[in-house]
Amino acid sequence: MTAEELQNRSELAQNMDYLRQLSPFERTPFEIIRLYAYIARRLRFAQGDFIFRQNQQASRAYLILSGSVVLSVEKSGQTLPLQVLGPMGFFGYMSLLARYDWGLNAQAAAATETLSLDRESFRKILIRFPDQCIEVVDSLVRLRMQRMHEHMETLVKNIKDPGGLAKLESGINL
């Protein structure tokens, strides 16, 4: 579906379409995806705005609809960029399942619009429809494991390269 076709549909229908494009939601029954789309909120950030900061309580997942977001960590007074995510970048999703503090920053690199799900609402749907939602939970965990393996491969590659670890520590190579 083109961006123009999406714009001509209701926000609820658009939200459903966006969520369906994410692997954790692709097999979710219509009634449940509609509930997730209904509770989802569009959040807009200007370039430079922090979506969240390291050590703040995590409580939302974000799907980038437009713009871009830089994920970074602060270490020894330095900000180290880790990754830049663009449209359809999905991050913060483990906060839907557990309470923890963010281990990194997320900052809008450009004017950015996101679709966001909050943990409390997500859990209400999960509790009300456990049989239909367990696949979403399983998929979120699988997605996290896949990304963890990708990050580990990047680390191993940079450790094997004598100059790679220095680049990694300075945040240049991720």
pLDDT in tens, 121-160: 999 998 998 877 777 777 777 877 787 777 677 667 766 6
User: With a threshold of 0.85, does the pTM exceed it?
Assistant: no
| 141: in domain | no
For the record, the structure tokens of 132 come out as 């239909």
Query: Tokens 């449209």 map to which residue?
Result: 87
Number of domains comprising the chain: 1
| 166: in domain | no
Domain ranges, residue 54: 3-136
Phi/psi for 9 (5° steps) reads -100, 160
pLDDT in tens, 67-96: 999 999 888 888 888 889 999 999 998 888
| 174: in domain | no
CA separation for the pair 127, 110 (Å, rounded):
37
Q: What's at 13, amino acid-wise?
A: A
CATH number, domain with residue 91: 2.60.120.10
Do 77 and 13 form a contact (C-beta atoms < 8 A)? no
Residue from 133, 143, 111, 107 nearest 23 by CA: 143
pLDDT in tens, 137-148: 777 778 777 877
For the record, the structure tokens of 85 come out as 């995510």
Residue from 52, 60, 58, 65 nearest 22 by CA: 65
- Give the N- to C-terminal CA distance of the chain in Å, as an integer: 31
